[in-house]
Amino acid sequence: MTWNLRIKKEQFGYGKQLRTWLTQQGVTGNAQSHLVMERFGYPDFLLASADELKSSTNRVPNRRPSTPLSRPLEDTPAALPIRLKPETKGDEAVTIEPQKEHQWLQKLVGEWAYESEAVTQPGKPPEKFTGTESVRSLGGVWVLCEGRGEMPGGGMGTTLMTLGYDPQRKRFVGTFIGSMMTNLWVYEGKLDGESKVLTLDSEGPSFTAEGKIAKYKDVMEVKSDDHRVFSSSFLGDDGKWHGFMTAHYRRTK
């Protein structure tokens, strides 16, 4: 699918929205400007003839930036009648080609239900929790995993995990945030040789020592297209990894 078709599908109302989205997709500079103009129209001076430009200059020699003709294109609503150029083959030059690692992540797309078991207090037996997760794709190169489930002590919590792959670094990357925390967890990891286990490393506030930073490891194991296991552990002062949470995800859709 070309970039113009993808942009039409997203139904952006203003150029600023499109520029932000393109930047998130890794499209910047001239390629970004070209796509914005393809969607919202080219400025009059690019479409005008030499005579029209000369006539316009003679009529308004000191045009101010606030006048309509020089208004930034990205502030123009998509609903206004603007002359558009047809799609061109040049769109292919800015197409991001998903790698096999990106394709692996697409296995997660769908609706899931999970059952987890977590240690919430040292020395006490694990507690069980349930919840759901909705995973969607972003451009075929990212997945957004939004979870909602029971929390220790009662109530519901919402989490959001992003996962992608950086071909330059040859590492999986991502983030994790939750409604029950203020820390942004940043992931970096790798896939095993059999492409079944994704190990994600991170650092964050220690669960056992206030004010300290600890190392954490989240491991996602794909058992089948409809079943995966997610487990978390931290590196203790004894130099050993200690598991504190395991969750089984099963596809519902």
Which pLDDT does position 202 carry in this prediction?
A: 97
Whether 93 contacts 31, CB under 8 Å: yes
Contacts for 231-240: CB closer than 8 Å, 24+ residues apart: 234/206, 234/207, 234/208, 236/208
Contacts of 187 (CB under 8 A, 6+ apart): 163, 172, 173, 174, 175, 176, 200, 201, 202, 218
- Domains within the chain, CATH numbers bracketed: 3-95 (no CATH), 101-251 (2.40.128.20)
pTM, whole model, 2 decimals? 0.62
Distance CA 253, CA 250 (A): 9
- Answer whether 21's CB lies under 8 Å from 32's CB: no
Instruction: Split the chain (253 residues) into runs of 10 and give each run's mean pLDDT.
Output: 74 77 79 76 63 57 43 44 43 71 97 94 86 96 97 90 96 96 96 96 90 95 97 94 96 94
Count of residues making up the chain: 253
Q: What is the pLDDT of residue 45?
A: 55
CA–CA gap between residue 38 and residue 18 (Å, rounded): 11
Backbone angles phi, psi at 161, to 5 degrees: -115, 135
- The first and second tokens of residue 178, run together, are 């939750």
pLDDT value for 92: 47
